[in-house]
Amino acid sequence: MAKKTYVLDTNVYLTDASAINSFGINDVLIPLKVLEEIDKHKKRQDSVGLNARQIIRTLDELRQKGSLKKGVRIAKGKGIVFARPQDLSVLPEELDKTDPDNTIISAALAEKRDNPNRKIIVVTRDINMRIKCDALDLPSEDFNADQVVLDSEHLFSGFGEHLVDEQIVDQFYNGEDIEVSKDEIKLYPNQLIMLVSNANHKKTAIAKFTRYEDPLQKIINYDGVWGVRSRNKEQAFALDILMNPDISVVSLVGKAGSGKTLCAIAAALEQTLESSKGESPYKRVVVSRPIQPMGKDIGYLPGSMEEKMTPWLMPIQDNLEFLMGDKRTLDIYIENGTIEVEALKYIRGRSIANAFIVIDEAQQLTKHEIKTILTRVGEGTKVVFTGDIEQIDNVYVDETSNGLTYVVEKFKHYDLAGHIILKKGERSKVATLAAKIL
């Protein structure tokens, strides 16, 4: 197979600092413009800045082995990486020669001109840049090294249906042990399953699967979790896994108004402030959501960290105030540290034990940021990720590569995790209709 040369856009390096290792024996060309663009991001205090600093260090290590201008072997069994200046003369007059994307494209076109027998491919997360490449007869592709599912439709839903004989449904309701085998249906730990009668599809039973060695369990229908009652089977299952002390990692995915954040915070308050078993299993509630989607660091805002975080946390504050009944009670719990507002960027280096952590809008996070959060989890802590993978503002992730999707797919095999997609909007008729038709 003939070797290829890949020209990586800046956003590829800022998404994954080890991207140059993803192309096998093929070579990687780095236009000087890419190095300049990476340098602009190296002082950022987020995953983008971390990736920028890491790729700079990697290239510096390679530089010490040889000349990047002539090319340096990335590693044994890998291709050669080399850096070259771009040649703007190959660009059509219609393209702005000061545009960074066009500058990078010019480097690829020049390489194609100088090596006509070598296939040159531009790799970029930028859709419009791929369109430009196509118009210039230059092969291009997306960078999917972090993709864990084919598309959003293939994301694990946490729900499954299983056709059974009608008497099985009756036996389950009567409290008899019902088991399923691997040969019948593929299930994951802590998965919601609906038994459907093969004689009458309207006759069903909702159950929770734990493992094949154990019988199916009934979903615990709570009378009220901090005043919140489930309105559909997915919410009932969500409250079941949120209230289960044996499940330490929970992911809730759903559109606006599906109740994911409300259920998570209600369960946090119920178990932290009013445990029905006497002593509370958690000592505090830690809530946060990413600030990255707005494109600015919280340092641009005046005041203390809590004051800076207020604009980002207003949706959570709304839920907290609704559940508390008034803002004064909420302020008391925040002041005494029982409810803690935390900026995700400051969570690295901490060890958070005996806490109920709620991370809202987790779809805006990268897998590295998710890993940072989860590696801060101490003993006795439960962490809940909520979000809508169809509402992503972070340009470095998409529906198939964001941190929330990673949690869902990577943890679905383990019995310490639970997941469900909330499909129905329950906020109001207006919110439900708007989410559907707009």
Q: Is-contact 205 232, C-beta < 8 A?
A: no
CA separation for the pair 263, 418 (Å, rounded): 14
Q: Is-contact 268 358, C-beta < 8 A?
A: yes
The pair phi, psi for residue 64, each rounded to 5°, is: -70, -15
> Is residue 325 exposed (0-12), middle (13-18) or buried (19+ Cβ within 10 Å)?
exposed
pLDDT greater at residue 348 or residue 196: 196
Q: Is-contact 191 208, C-beta < 8 A?
A: yes
pLDDT digits (tens, 9 = 90+) for 284-330: 999 888 875 434 455 555 666 556 666 666 777 788 888 888 788 88
Bridge partners of 31, per DSSP, are: 84
pLDDT digits (tens, 9 = 90+) for 1-52: 789 999 999 999 998 899 999 999 999 999 999 999 999 999 987 788 989 9
- Among 145-154, 155-164, 300-309, 395-404, the range of highest mean pLDDT: 155-164
pLDDT greater at residue 252 or residue 321: 252
Shortest CA distance to 299 belongs to which of 39, 44, 52, 61? 44
Count of other CB atoms within 10 angstroms of residue 350 = 13
CA separation for the pair 273, 283 (Å, rounded): 8
Least confident of 275-279, 342-346, 366-370: 275-279
Q: Is-contact 124 11, C-beta < 8 A?
A: yes
Q: What is the pLDDT of residue 206?
A: 96
User: Measured in whole angstroms, how far is the alpha carbon of residue 222 from the centre of its chain?
Assistant: 29
% pLDDT > 70, the chain: 90
Q: Is-contact 23 6, C-beta < 8 A?
A: yes
Q: Is-contact 20 401, C-beta < 8 A?
A: no
pLDDT digits (tens, 9 = 90+) for 327-340: 888 888 888 888 88
Q: What is the pLDDT of residue 294?
A: 39
pLDDT band (50, 70, 90) for residue 197? very high
Q: What is the pLDDT of residue 238?
A: 97
- How far, in Å, are 8, 112, 119, 380 from residue 109 at the CA level? 13, 5, 11, 56
In this structure, the chain runs to a length of 438
pTM recorded for the entire structure: 0.80
Which H, E and C letters describe the chain, residue by residue? Answer: CCCEEEEECHHHHHHCCCHHHHCCCCEEEEEHHHHHHHHCCCCCCCHHHHHHHHHHHHHHHHHCCCCCCCCEECCCCCCEEEEECCCHHHCCCCCCCCCHHHHHHHHHHHHHHHCCCCEEEEECCCHHHHHHHHHCCCCEECCCCCCCCCCHHHCCCCEEEEEECHHHHHHHHCCCCCCCCCCCCCCCCCEEEEEEECCCCCCEEEEEECCCCCCCEECCCCCCECCECCCCHHHHHHHHHHHCCCCCEEEEEECCCCCHHHHHHHHHHHHHHCCCCCCCCCCEEEEECCCHHHCCCHHHCCCCHHHHHHHHHHHHHHHHHHHHCCHHHHHHHHHCCCEEECCHHHCCCCCECCEEEEECCHHHCCHHHHHHHHCCECCCCEEEEEECCCCCCCCCCCCCCCHHHHHHHHHCCCCCEEEEEECCCCCCHHHHHHHHHC
Domains and CATH numbers, the chain: 4-141 (3.40.50.1010), 226-437 (3.40.50.300)
Strands 249-254 and 217-218, sheet pairing: unpaired
Mean pLDDT, to the nearest integer, of 91-119?
A: 94
